Structure 1
């Protein structure tokens, strides 16, 4: 296996090279337009992603390549722990989405806004729009901008106002604040980016921004995290939901309103009371 990185802002990970449909062409283009792809899908088309998409890679995220065929790479995402593979989350992405690892790997900073403009020079020469939860190595600072290492040996600049050092102290309230940036965002199966989130993708992305590397899927998050009594839960903790003799299928942040979560049934990210029908399937409460 070789270690590379994602060189596009968002690369969707698929179950196989045959999984994408015609409507998914913008997501698998050499320069994917994930925003246009997500916007074009109606509810039925989004539901059709079940069994097709798995997760998403963000810009400069490290990737292990296991094999290649017909323009596709079988990959493992080590930043996304999974019970499916000891090394990380497995799946397939277009090979055109992958490049050489950035040259630096120190002083990581995370994007804390929905999208951050990447510039060739401080404030000038727009290169790309990077998604929330993108993590990059910082190599220099000047006049309110941070220079970051990019895939394939380049560098670029991001406004300091869009970033936080990954190792900065974080509070439970930070999870609610960051998650609330996406209230109203449409649910996207397999989504971990600004352009669409699923329930565990929301928890995983917010945790990444705050310097915590946790599993990608809800059932793995439930297995990995410290459980607490439900009556001790506070904002920023996690509720997990499941049905008898089945894997945990849903997760949300405990919030003052009840629960902040990406709801597939509600079709969007919501902050709402914990309804009785939800409470009936509440199986665990955990602390990050």
Structure 2
């Protein structure tokens, strides 16, 4: 295995090289346009992602490559813990989306707004649009900008006001997640162009320097369990049908729950319905 990094802003992870459909071409292109891809899909097309997409990698995220085949790489994502593999979340991505690890690996900063422009130099035109929860190693600070290490030995600059460092409070988790109210659900999404329920929790946690499992059932199994009636805003609710594993997660909020509901719906902050509450099985604290 070799350790590399995602060199595109968002790389979607697939179940196999054969999983993408013709409509998914913008997501698998050498320079993917995930925003356009998400915009192009109606509800039926998004439902077709079930069994095809798994998760997403963000710019500069480390990746272990297990094998390569016909322009695709079989990978595991160490920053996305999973019960499927002790090394990280497994799947397949186009090999063109991968490059050399950034040279620096300390003083991490995270993009804390939905999208942020990466500049070659402060004041110059943008060279890339980075997603929320992108984590990069900072190299220097100057005049309201931070220089960060990028894949393939490069560097770039981000405005300080789009970045965050260090842990946060329950209020921070809800504030960060609330930036995506109205965003359409995307199966396997961890980026600003579409999120699924556990992807929201994973991405918000990443911004605050907390590494959580990628999937809801793994989050329920590994995070600090608390009694449901003790849950406070910023904690997590988990849901499962009788005899089945956890299938949904959301942030407890003053209104009820902040969550990415399901395909065909949008990220919302709403009371927990009686139907949903009937499947509420546990709670946890980050």
TM-score interval, smaller chain: over 0.9
Count of residues paired in the alignment:
286
CA RMSD of aligned residues (A): 0.7
In the TM superposition, what is the alpha-carbon distance from 1:245 to its structure 2 partner?
1.4
In the TM superposition, what is the alpha-carbon distance from 1:266 to its structure 2 partner?
5.7
For residues 8-60 of structure 1, give each alpha carbon's deviation from its aligned partner in whole angstroms, at most 9, with x where no partner exists.
00000000000000000000000000000000000000000000000000000
Q: Identify if the C-alpha distance between structure 1 residues 21 and 265 changes in structure 2 by more than 3 Å, giving closer, same or farther.
A: closer
> Where does the alignment leave 5 or more consecutive residues of structure 2 unmatched?
none
- Greater than 6 Å deviation, 4+ residue runs: none
In the TM superposition, what is the alpha-carbon distance from 1:89 to its structure 2 partner?
0.1
Q: Which residue of 1 aligns with 2:196?
A: 198
For residues 60-86 of structure 1, give each alpha carbon's deviation from its aligned partner in whole angstroms, at most 9, with x where no partner exists.
000000000000000000000000000
Provide the TM-score with structure 2 as the length reference. Answer: 0.99
In the TM superposition, what is the alpha-carbon distance from 1:169 to its structure 2 partner?
3.5
In the TM superposition, what is the alpha-carbon distance from 1:125 to its structure 2 partner?
2.9
SS in 1 for 2:120: strand
In structure 2, C-alpha distance between the alignment counterparts of 1:143 and 1:114, rounded to whole Å: 23
For residues 122-152 of structure 1, give each alpha carbon's deviation from its aligned partner in whole angstroms, at most 9, with x where no partner exists.
1313110000000000000000000000000
Q: Which residue of 2 aligns with 1:105?
A: 105
SS in 2 for 1:121: coil
In the TM superposition, what is the alpha-carbon distance from 1:230 to its structure 2 partner?
1.1
Tell me, yes or no, if the aligned pair for 1:123 and 1:157 is still in contact at 8 Å: no
Tell me, yes or no, if the aligned pair for 1:111 and 1:162 is still in contact at 8 Å: yes
SS in 2 for 1:243: coil
1:283 and 2:281 are equivalent in the alignment: yes
Provide the TM-score with structure 1 as the length reference. Answer: 0.98
Q: Which residue of 2 aligns with 1:50?
A: 50
Tell me, yes or no, if the aligned pair for 1:71 and 1:96 is still in contact at 8 Å: yes
> Where does the alignment leave 5 or more consecutive residues of structure 1 unmatched?
none
